[in-house]
């Protein structure tokens, strides 16, 4: 496998930052080699400089997409970290529904908009959809929009297809939920149509403007900003604050903090979990 | 050298005995069942790492029936099907239903041991990944708890600062009064 030189690390890190906002630790040589070594061989390239030149020169950006797929971390589980989902079920959804029902006329269904902003392969958004289905039952009375976005094409493709192998499915998902909401198809577990139909996925780079998506009642932005530098984190959470509907809720990763990042958000506690609202 | 717990299902007593003998010799823990019905009984009461089953069996429950029962009980159990030459197509269909692999009759035991080794390696890898996730989850829980408490404390202090700022900016009041009332907000 080709060895990466310090200069190549510098060039490649800058390139990855420009296309994804991901700030890589330049001291981690192994990270570049394990993530891109196979790609270099598969593309028939000699070294990392060639990888960079080819990616830059391709008008259709095929290699750029592969680089993003390789560098993004898709560590995700169904109901990863139970806290936020309990929070959603017992506190946030009931509040959003109450407020929405009070606001909407009797003729129109209550609108609820939720965004999983770094949805990876879709587990977070499907977990949210399952909770909504269990909590609300008949969805006809509601106009529910569930959106999942991610920067990785490969992740979005898998999320859209909604199938998971047994290693992806096993942890986090209780057996009764697995049987109820998934079917075994070609050796993989595929989300049932009734849940799949509730959600939409699309590719999105959080570094770019996303105001056009409109306002959301609830935004999940968990464990993605950790890969950004402080300045980009500040910009991101400011944009997220703009994208929240009045009294909307933001949920971030359990080890993330907005202190010194975005003073517009106030942390609030419900039982063991924290959520944020705009001051 | 195996550490897997295996159930072998075959209606032919000679094949059953042969499989049992060979697997015991390789140190695998093995149980046998003479038909699908018996196999399902065993599967429902005990966990097996691998179920090795004949595809065509009389008595109402064939290899596919065993496979379906296994996957319903515990998706962590792997199933290897043993098939006659004529039923390879069926075996491929079975793999779509979640079988890990298939072997053609007569059983080539070297091949079987290779498949079992592969499954054992996969189980170890999955366990490693599981252990890592568990360790990450415990670390994350602990760190999360600390960070969230700090986050709330900072939020509280920030609010106090805003309150103090509001008081201190009330220029129409006497400066001494402003200072005293600001100090009161922090209990001083």
User: Domain boundaries in chain A?
Assistant: 6-71, 82-278
B88 and B12 inside one domain = yes
For residue A231, what are the contacts with CB-CB under 8 A and spacing of at least 6? none
Say whether the ipTM exceeds 0.95: no
Residue A75 distance to chain B (closest CA, Å): 9
Residue B13 lies in a domain: yes
Chains A, B: CB pairs < 8 Å: 59
Distance separating alpha carbons of residues B32 and B13, to the nearest angstrom? 10
SS3 B138: helix
Residues on chain A touching B147 (C-beta within 8 angstroms): 254-257
Rounded distance, CA A136 to CA A62, Å? Answer: 42
Q: Which residue of A has its CA nearest to B134?
A: A171
Q: Could B130 and A187 be called an inter-chain contact, meaning their C-beta atoms sit closer than 8 Å? A: no
State whether B140 and A254 contact (CB < 8 Å): yes
Residues B53 and B91 grouped into a single domain: yes
- According to the model, what pLDDT value does residue B2 have? 62
Q: Is there a domain that residue B121 lies in?
A: no
Q: Is residue B142 part of a domain?
A: yes
- CA B60 to chain CA centroid, Å, is 31
B118 assigned to some structural domain = no
Q: Under 8 Å CB-to-CB from A87, ≥6 apart: which residues?
A: A251, A270, A271, A273, A275
Total number of domains in chain B:
2
CA closest to B130 among chain A residues: A171
- Residues B90, B141, single domain; the answer is no
Is the domain of B87 the same as that of B140? no
Q: In terms of domains, do B10 and B80 share one?
A: yes
Please check whether the two domains, A6-71 and A82-278, share a CATH topology: no
In this prediction, residue B1 has a pLDDT band, given cuts at 50, 70 and 90, of low
Instruction: Report how far apart, in Å, the C-alpha atoms of A174 and of each of A178, A194, A230, B46, B118 are.
Output: 6, 19, 37, 20, 27
Asked if B9 and B88 sit in the same domain, the reply is: yes
- Predicted TM-score (pTM) of the model is 0.81
In this structure, are B140 and B76 located in the same domain? no
What class is the A82-278 domain? alpha beta
How far apart, in whole angstroms, are the C-alpha atoms of residue B69 and residue B63?
Answer: 10
Q: How far is A140 from chain B (nearest CA, A)?
A: 32
* A contacts of B95 (beta carbons < 8 Å): 187
Same domain as B140, residue B92: no
Question: How large is the average pLDDT for residues B87-111?
Answer: 87
Choose among A56, A119, A93: nearest CA to A218. A93
Q: What's the domain range around B82?
A: 5-107
- Nearest-neighbour CA in chain A from B25: distance (Å): 31
Residue A238 backbone phi and psi in degrees, to 5: -65, -45
Task: Point out the residues of chain A with pLDDT beneath 70.
Answer: 1, 105
Question: B81: which chain A residues are within 8 Å (Cβ-Cβ)?
Answer: none
- Residue range B7-36: mean pLDDT, rounded: 95
Q: Which A residues 31-50 touch B at CB under 8 Å?
A: none
CATH number given to A6-71: 1.10.155
Question: pLDDT for A182-204, tens place per residue?
Answer: 998 877 899 999 999 999 999 99
B151 and A267 within 8 Å at the Cβ level: the answer is yes
CA gyration radius for chain B?
32
């Amino acid at each position: 496998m080709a060895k990466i030189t310090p200069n190549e690390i510098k060039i490649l890190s800058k390139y990855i930052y420009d296309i994804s906002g991901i700030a890589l630790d330049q001291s981690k040589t192994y990270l570049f080699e394990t993530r891109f070594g196979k790609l270099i061989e598969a593309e028939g390239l000699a070294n990392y400089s060639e990888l960079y030149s080819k990616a830059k020169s391709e008008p259709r950006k095929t290699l750029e997409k592969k680089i993003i797929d390789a560098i993004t971390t898709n560590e995700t589980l169904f109901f990863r970290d139970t806290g936020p989902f309990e929070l959603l079920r017992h506190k946030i959804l009931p509040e959003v529904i109450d407020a929405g029902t009070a606001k909407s006329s009797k003729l129109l269904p209550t609108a609820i908009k939720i965004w999983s902003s770094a949805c990876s392969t879709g587990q977070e958004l499907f977990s949210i959809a399952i909770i909504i289905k269990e909590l609300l039952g008949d969805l006809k009375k509601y106009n529910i929009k569930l959106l999942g976005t991610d920067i990785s094409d490969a992740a979005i493709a898998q999320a859209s297809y909604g199938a998971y192998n047994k290693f992806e499915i096993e942890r986090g998902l209780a057996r009764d939920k697995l049987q109820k909401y998934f079917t075994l198809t070609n050796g993989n577990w595929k989300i049932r149509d009734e849940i799949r139909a509730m959600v939409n996925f699309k590719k999105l780079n959080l570094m770019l403007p996303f105001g056009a998506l409109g306002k959301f009642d609830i935004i999940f932005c968990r464990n993605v900003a950790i890969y950004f530098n402080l300045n980009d984190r500040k910009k991101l959470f400011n944009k997220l604050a703009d994208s929240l509907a009045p009294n909307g809720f933001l949920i971030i990763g359990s080890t993330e903090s907005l202190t010194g990042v975005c003073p517009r958000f106030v942390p609030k506690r419900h039982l063991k979990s924290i959520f944020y609202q705009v001051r | 050298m195996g550490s897997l717990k295996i159930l072998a299902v075959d209606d032919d007593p000679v094949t059953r005995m042969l499989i049992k003998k060979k697997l015991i010799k390789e140190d695998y823990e093995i149980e046998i069942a003479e038909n699908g019905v018996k196999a399902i009984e065993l599967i429902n009461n005990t966990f097996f790492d691998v179920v090795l089953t004949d595809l065509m069996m009389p008595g109402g429950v064939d290899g596919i029936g065993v496979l379906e029962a296994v996957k319903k009980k515990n998706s962590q159990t792997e199933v290897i099907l043993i098939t006659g030459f004529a039923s390879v197509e069926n075996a491929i269909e079975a793999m779509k239903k979640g079988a890990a692999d298939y072997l053609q009759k007569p059983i080539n035991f070297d091949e079987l041991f290779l498949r079992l080794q592969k499954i054992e390696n996969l189980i170890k890898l999955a366990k490693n990944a599981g252990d890592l996730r568990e360790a990450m989850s415990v670390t994350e829980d602990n760190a999360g708890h600390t960070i969230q408490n700090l986050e709330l404390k900072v939020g509280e202090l920030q609010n106090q600062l805003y309150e103090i700022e509001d008081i201190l900016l009330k220029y129409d009041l006497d400066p001494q009064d402003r200072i005293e009332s600001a100090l009161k907000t922090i209990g001083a």
